[in-house]
Amino acid sequence: MKSFRCTISSIENYNKDTRKVLLDLKNEENFKFFAGQYIQILTPHKKFPFSIANAPNYSSHIELHVRPTPGSEDSEIIESIINSSRDLQIEGPLGDCYMEEKPDKPLILIAASTGITQMKSIIEFLEPQGFTKSTYLYWGVVSVEDLYLEKLCKAWDNLNSNFHYIPVVSEPSTSKQWEGRTGLVGKAVLKDFEDLSDIEVYVSGSAGMVYATLDAFLEKGMPKTNMHSDIFSLVPREKKR
């Protein structure tokens, strides 16, 4: 696995706690990645994974979305590095949940929280080619304030007749003005689709969320090979004896 030196070229606030960090890779011509892959920020003691938020056709830079996790020592380290460093050492690309070409069947993209970054990369890869198959983006968040890419997602929906954006808020009590979908994002998909036998699915979220979604989708007829997530290789299930 190759490592690269890059420069933090800009930092932009999306909302009160999520930032867009652009890494300059102009001198690294050998860095090639597929839509949906991730990199790791290298430190002397640990590696920190982040999904690449931009499409491969914009590979002169890498876009990361960074959101602090309260009470997390790892999060504090990353925030400190980004706030105080000009250069970063990264490793990549990594991950086998990616897209190389347009899907030949309808596509469901399911993102939990900042898992939207992986889906953003995939969508920006597909959009210039046109969404020839129906594509559904389900974005699950705790509060409506967490929908920091809401305008962009709605723009994809408005500009592409085959693209459908469905935000889902899990704790509507925190968002009193919210009139959209509520509950768990995986269950929202199941309410919309009776048959999943001929649909490709990409999921980004916690291990518990991904495996719960897998089990529920298998019951709706989805072939196991039709669901893609980095969780399957990063946190594999123990085989039953």
pLDDT tens by residue, 14-25 = 988 999 999 998
The phi and psi torsions of 12 (rounded to 5 degrees) equal -130, 135
What pLDDT, on the 0 to 100 scale, is given for residue 44? 87
Q: Is the pLDDT of residue 240 over 70?
A: no
Could you report the per-residue pLDDT of 158-196, keeping only the tens digit for each?
Answer: 999 999 999 999 998 888 789 999 999 999 999 999 999
Could you report the per-residue pLDDT of 36-95, keeping only the tens digit for each?
Answer: 999 999 998 899 999 999 999 866 789 999 999 989 999 999 999 999 999 999 999 999
- 107-234: which CATH topology? Rossmann fold (3.40.50)
What pLDDT, on the 0 to 100 scale, is given for residue 27? 66
d(CA 36, CA 177): 33
Question: Would you list the domain boundaries of the chain?
Answer: 3-94, 107-234
| Structure tokens belonging to residue 16 | 């009160």
Question: Do the beta carbons of residue 92 and residue 31 sit within 8 Å?
Answer: yes
pLDDT band at 238 (very low <50, low <70, confident <90, very high): confident
- 10 Å Cβ neighbour count for 65? 21
CA dihedral 222, 50, 238, 107 (to 10 degrees): 0
d(CA 120, CA 52): 9
Could you report the per-residue pLDDT of 100-152, keeping only the tens digit for each?
Answer: 999 999 999 999 999 999 999 999 999 999 999 999 999 999 999 999 999 99
Pick the CATH number of 3-94 from 2.40.30.10, 2.40.30.20, 3.30.420.10, 3.40.640.10: 2.40.30.10
| Structure tokens belonging to residue 113 | 């929280």
d(CA 238, CA 241): 9
